[in-house]
Structure formats: structure tokens, C-alpha cells
Amino acid sequence: MSAAGGDTVKRLGVLCSAVAIIVLFVPGCSRPSVPVEARSDPEPPRLYQSVKTVTIPYRLFGHAKKAGGLLYVSVCGNDEGIIDRIITLDPETGEEEIVITSDNDIAWLEVSEEWIVWETNMGMYAQPRTGGERLLLGGVQAVFGPILAGSLVAWMNRVDDDRYELTVRDLNGGENRVIAENNHPGLYNNFVHIEGDRLLWTDIIDNTGFYRVASLRDGTIEDYPIQDTDFRFPGYAQLSGDRLYSINFDTYIEWDWTKQRFGYYSIPDGTFTALRDKNFIQAFRVSGDRVAILETGHRLTLMDAAASQQTEDVSKAFGTIFDSLDCADPNTFVASVASKPGEPKKATLYFISVR
């Protein structure tokens, strides 16, 4: 064979090797006899089921709730900056109706399928959702934040300047019932949460922070002390099964929101697990096995309470940061984006269904 012929054979050999490499490694060019193994990791399931956005012609509003196919929102309908009315909004037709007006600022709103409960600086009131007699649940309150589940409402009731009682009432004909006295009322311990037949709040006893869980069936109370020596004063606690989520602080003498540790206390293990340690959070809400967290910088994150490693960046998914976070109903979070001063008055509400 001549030298030229040998060079031709070599070139053909190199070319065939290159073709073989292309066939093996370029997608779509594999031979039928060579099996192709898929190596892409499956996408994790979304932590929410659906998201519906609703825009309201108000920049200043308080709370947004869902019940009976309607949205209930406390809004400012004046030039003084006072939230003075509760409106309903049909999300399908956009029809708006004023259902409650107030001469005083409406600081809190809770709505269930049966009742509406709201609080002003002059008292706390309840009214059947579909109309009926208005009830006065309490006079001037030093704290706010009642929680409503069906016809059951719970709140911290001020007895005198230094004495508060955790009180519950069945709005369908019941009377006020005292569950426990709050040993150290204040910004940490004035909030309560209901899940099923359990009621959760926090307290400080002998310089130790406690979670307290009461049975609404028989009134028994279980106490869970915080063993964390750095952040041992929990507040704003919410239930999710055997986990008690809270924002914990290092002191109750000088309140500093930025010095906090967000996480959960495990009832079976008796331990606290920090989920946010370096950065403080703005707010959080719990709905079943989902936790919504308004992070530093107002980014919204969803977390699977059963497997805390799985999170979802809602702000990234929708390209926005949020001004506020709340629960619209037991199955839905609501986050808002309000217009800036000087812009047309409006707010966009994101209703995030998780169950």
C-alpha cells in the first residue's frame, strides 16, 4: 500500500471515531441498539395548588379574608388614613359592597363561614356573616388579634392594666370562658392560634419562655418550656400538628425585632429547630402542613412543614416582593402588593391556595 493510501486509511479511521463519538453523545443521534438513560432529576412538586390575583381600588387596607365565595377586606375609604369599613368583593364579577362601617380604626378582622369578628380601639365586635344582630364581645382593648374558627373566637382579654386572661367564646349562644391567665402580657404573648380542638399561646414564667397548649374539649393545659439559652422567649406561635412555629427573642426587656430566631418546637422531641438564624423574618403564617414566610427584603417563601428542607420561592415565581402576609382562610395564604404614594390607589392581592 502506498503512503498516500495509508494516510487515507488513517484519516478515515479518525473520521469514523469522530462520527462514533457524535452518535454516542449528541442527543437524538444514538443507535437503536444503544440504550439511552435519562439522567434529569424530577422537578419537586409545587407547594401550592393555585394562585388567584385580585386588584382592589384601595392602597391602604388591613386584612383580607375569604368566606362564602366572597372576599372580605378592611379598607380605608377616607382621606384621614383610617381603616373605616369592611367590604365584600365578588372575585368573579368584581362587584363590591360595604357591609360594615366604623367611626374608629379597624385594627383586626377575622371571618369564617358563620361569623365576622373585628376589633377597633373602642372594642371587639361580632356579627353573623350573612347578617343579623351585632354583638359586643369586649370594651376597650389594650391588645388586638382575636382568632376565629367557625363560631369559636379566642382572644387575650384585658381585666386590668397588669392582668390579661385568655378567653374563648362560642358565638352561637355561648358565654365568655376563661382558659388561663397570661402571666406576662406583652408584644410576644398577646396572640393565640387555633388548630382543631387545640389552642396555642406563649407566656413567660420565672424568666423562662413557654408554649402553652390547651384542649378546648376539657380545658387541660400542657406546658412546653424553651431550653434554648440564647433565644428562649417565643412569640406569635402557631400550630402545625406536633410542631409549634414561633419567632423567638433573646430578651423581653428591650424589644428588638431584628434579634430573633424563627423555627419550630417539636412536641415529641422536646427540641427547638431554627429555620432562620442569621436573618430576621417579617412575618409567617401556618396552614396545615404549609408555612409561608415573609423574609428579610419582603421575599415570600413557602415551606413544607412535614419536610422543612423543601421550600419554594414565591417571589421569584411571580417576580415581585410583597408588603404583607396573612391567612385568608384555613386553606389559603394572602400576600399583597400596594401602589406607591403618588400612584393610582390600588393593591394587588395574591390568594395562594395550598390545600
Q: What is the pLDDT of residue 25?
A: 33
C-alpha 106/C-alpha 219 separation (Å) is 31
Residue partners of 6: CB distance under 8 A and separation at least 6? none
62-90 average pLDDT score: 95
Q: What is the pLDDT of residue 145?
A: 77
Identify any residues that bridge with 333 across adjacent strands, giving them in sequence order.
327, 352
Given a cut of 70, whether residue 39 has pLDDT beyond it is no
150-170 average pLDDT score: 89
Given a cut of 80, whether residue 161 has pLDDT beyond it is no
- Under the banding of pLDDT at 50, 70 and 90, the label for residue 143 is low
**Cell triple for residue 6?**
495509508
230 closest CA partner among 202, 205, 269, 259 = 259
Q: What is the pLDDT of residue 87?
A: 97
- Under the banding of pLDDT at 50, 70 and 90, the label for residue 160 is confident
C-alpha 182/C-alpha 210 separation (Å) is 11
Q: What is the pLDDT of residue 27?
A: 39
CB 115 within 8 A of CB 124: no
Q: What is the pLDDT of residue 44?
A: 61
CB 90 within 8 A of CB 66: no
C-alpha 157/C-alpha 124 separation (Å) is 10
Per the prediction, the chain carries an average pLDDT of 85
Given a cut of 90, whether residue 83 has pLDDT beyond it is yes
230-238 average pLDDT score: 93
Q: What is the pLDDT of residue 108?
A: 94
311-318 average pLDDT score: 94
Q: What is the pLDDT of residue 310?
A: 87
Given a cut of 60, whether residue 139 has pLDDT beyond it is yes
97-107 average pLDDT score: 95
C-alpha 290/C-alpha 308 separation (Å) is 10
The string of pLDDT tens digits covering residues 166-207 is: 999 999 988 889 999 998 888 788 899 999 999 999 999 998
C-alpha 177/C-alpha 214 separation (Å) is 13
Comparing 286 with 4, the larger pLDDT belongs to 286
278-298 average pLDDT score: 93
Identify the residue whose cell numbers are 365568655: 176
Looking from the CA of 349 toward its CB, the CA atoms found within 13 Å total 28
Given a cut of 50, whether residue 15 has pLDDT beyond it is no
Comparing 127 with 162, the larger pLDDT belongs to 127
337-346 average pLDDT score: 92
The 3-state DSSP class for residue 297 equals coil
Q: What is the pLDDT of residue 26?
A: 35
Task: Tell me 84's DSSP state.
Answer: -
**Cell triple for residue 51?**
394562585
Comparing 79 with 35, the larger pLDDT belongs to 79
CATH architecture of 55-271: 6 Propeller (2.120)
Q: What angle do CA 148, 355, 282 make, to 5 degrees?
A: 65
Given a cut of 50, whether residue 137 has pLDDT beyond it is yes
Q: What is the pLDDT of residue 16?
A: 37
Q: What is the pLDDT of residue 187?
A: 78
